[in-house]
Homo-oligomer: A and B are copies of this chain.
Amino acid sequence: MDASKTYLIVGLGLLGGKYAQTLSGKGFTVTGIDCNPDTIRYALEKAYISAGATEQFEDLVRQADVIIFGLYPTALLDWVRQYGQWIQPGTLVTDVCGVKRGVVGPVQEMLPQGVEFIASHPMAGRETSGITHSAEVDFAPANFIITPTARNTQAAIDWCRDLAHTLGFARITTLTVAEHDRMIGYVSQLCHAIAVSLMCASDNADLACYTGDSFRDLTRIARINDKMWAELFLWNKDNLIGEIDMFSTALGELRQKLVADDRKGLEEMFRLSTQRRKAFDKK
């Protein structure tokens, strides 16, 4: 990555803040835009950014060589619609959005000629949010997924990989936009839908003292950022509904085996799940 360039982070939330912290810590020039003055103040105090603004940020946009959007999908689309024309030709743009189909095409469509948007998703979310928690984020064990389209150049894909590497991601892969959203519907969104439903299913506070690690592990992600996850779920609702239906069918089969006292059938399901789960053990 080029240390003479200026990196503008738009949206200094949990991930945007971590990008700013990491890049400035490595000597890059980082600027920031956020709608919350407390966030800009915090980022300046911690030296995550060298300049920042909540409004009148046209100059910051024009001076950026790289722009990284740390915004939710809807806010990202709104921002590009409103301010995208200020981005200079030659600027490289990426994002951190957890869903891609509704974002990547429209943003590439809206940006000025000569501005390249190469989308990516750092899978390093946590239960917390906001820049004051950014320092707790750990990129090293997380997946970084680049989702190029036909409009992207190999140079931009390579640059994005380089960015991920600089940020500390060890596992960097490439998927199509559609593959990404299908994958994320299963490995992330379905899990969150299940954890949330488990907590919402009954008022279980009296059982807290009896829970072991099983319950705790299963529901850790039920502590969820409501605004962000409503966004992510709705932008990927077709995939997520499909995954919920597939899961519900499997749970329904297990239920049917219970009703039928089908011991052999249950044991078969348990052996299948055991065998499949082995592939997911951490190396």
Question: Which residues of A come within 8 Å of B, CB atoms?
Answer: 123, 125, 142-143, 145, 171, 173, 183, 186-188, 190-205, 207-212, 214-227, 229-230, 233-234, 237, 240-241, 243-255, 258-259, 261, 263, 266-274, 276-280, 282
| B residues near A244, Cβ cutoff 8 Å | 251, 254-255, 258
Inter-chain CA distance A255–B1, complex, in Å, is 43
| B residues near A218, Cβ cutoff 8 Å | 191, 194-195, 217-218, 221
| B residues near A204, Cβ cutoff 8 Å | 186-187, 276
Inter-subunit contact B251/A219 (CB<8 Å): no
Give, as a whole number of angstroms, the nearest-CB distance from A203 to chain B. 7
With contact pairs A200-B272, A247-B201, A261-B234 given, residues A219 and B280 touching in the complex (Cβ less than 8 Å): yes
Inter-subunit contact B230/A266 (CB<8 Å): yes
Give, as a whole number of angstroms, the nearest-CB distance from A271 to chain B. 5
With contact pairs A207-B186, A226-B274, A234-B258 given, residues A251 and B220 touching in the complex (Cβ less than 8 Å): no
| B residues near A214, Cβ cutoff 8 Å | 187-188, 191-192, 195, 220-221
